[in-house]
Structure 1
């Protein structure tokens, strides 16, 4: 789990990071809670009231809402429960239970590379068209993408000259992460995401990755079904705690 957590942080970089008693703070301008949260790690010390105060201060001094991300069992099951209970008592509500899923890769997965956009900007234009993203959220998303220092596959599937499915692959050491898999609503259930994800897995395998990983909302049953058909299995879960108001 710690290796996957580190790879996910590296693949999806925040503008600022710092560590407080083993809690990894990721501070950005928005777009996703992955880039804007205090994360329990394998080295996290028990969460005290003063720690919550200090973490809240770091977020609020930057105009951000404090958000805590709690992977199941980190650093230990008992400490994870204690941190969750402490935040609940302080009025933090549980949000967005999610799953980290993984899949082994082998040379047999190295079939063909995906169709790629030229760069982050071109890919984000396609993603915005597919997902209906624009404005400040798209600008914050662009900043995250431009900070990625690892090899990327900016994958796009198009029909009749228009993008219908997008996804991003990021290589970190021997792991490849799949991010931002999105399909145009009128092209759902046509196999576009399955083919795009398969091409991203092939891209990673051709470059020596031995494991693929992704993160998905636990409530997104259609996406989980797709990933299971592609060979992914649940590695662990996490959820967020956010202020009540």
Structure 2
């Protein structure tokens, strides 16, 4: 798989209420939700070929985001041709460095029968995202009332994915304490939104959720998985490596520090 195609699949898996082609850049916006991946501009594959065209396109994109009341955030993937040149141009334009991420993949991974059975017993995987899953998603991730409401609002946006989405819920005594969701596209399962309630961490919840999502995807003929994890999250990286994920490539963000006045 061309990593550029995998970037496209992963970007398309993030739901944003506003999307536009602005000067050849793929621009996504969710003005009510502060999550980077909902509010990101993706440069075109030929971004490094002409600096004048790049600068003009970047100016159009900046104005588009400011019109939405948002700061400019650009995703820079190491799969982009001459990505380091593009990155240097963005830095010269005053955009700071944020949140480096590994994109990790697992292909045709054997999962032991007992692991699958354990996941089936503990994790419910539903086709499509519903209101109940979105509510539990916000509660598991926690925070104050505003943070919970925002996470739940993002969860509700996922209903737009229809049966491409898989919502996983790990329950203890009837209460959801672990969540994750998958998005199916072009033979890949993207795994997103992994979260475990604090009092249930380091008890294998995340492993069961991943196995359950992979098994549900296999039942629909999908054998390849990918996920994204910030490079400073050593615990999560170690967990995913134990689940046979390997680093494919990475990306980071270049962004304005503040939204426009």
The reply to whether TM is greater than 0.5 is yes
CA distance in 1, matches of 2:215, 2:205: 15
What is the TM-score when the length of structure 2 is the normalising length? Answer: 0.84
Q: 1:197 to 1:166 in 2, by over 3 A?
A: same
Q: Which runs of 5+ in 1 are unaligned?
A: none
CA contact (8 A) 1:176 1:213 kept: yes
Match of 1:52 in 2: 58
Identify the residue that residue 71 of structure 1 maps to in structure 2: 77
Please report the TM-score for the alignment, with normalisation by the length of structure 1.
0.89
| Unaligned 5+ runs, structure 2 | none
Query: Which residue, 68, 81, 85 being the options, matches 1:82?
Result: 85
| Partner-residue secondary structure (3-state), 1:148 | helix
Counterparts of 2:163 and 2:41, CA distance in 1 = 23
Partner in structure 1 of residue 132 of structure 2: 122
Aligned to 2:68, which of 62, 72, 79?
A: 62
Q: Provide the C-alpha distance between the structure 1 equivalents of 2:213 and 2:152, rounded to a whole number of angstroms.
A: 25
1:92 equivalenced with 2:98 (yes/no): no
More helix by share: 2
Once the two structures are superposed, the pairs formed by residues 132-211 of structure 1 within 5 Å of their partners are 132=142, 134-135=145-146, 137-138=150-151, 140-211=153-224
Residue 235 (1) aligns with residue 248 (2): yes
Deviation at 1:41, TM superposition (A): 4.2
Deviation at 1:13, TM superposition (A): 2.3
Return the alpha-carbon distance in structure 2 between the equivalents of residues 22 and 81 of structure 1.
19
Aligned length: 242
Name the counterpart of 2:26: 24
Give me the whole-angstrom Cα distance separating, in 1, the residues matched to 2:242 and 2:46: 34
Q: Contact between 1:165 and 1:193, CA under 8 Å: does it hold in 2? A: yes
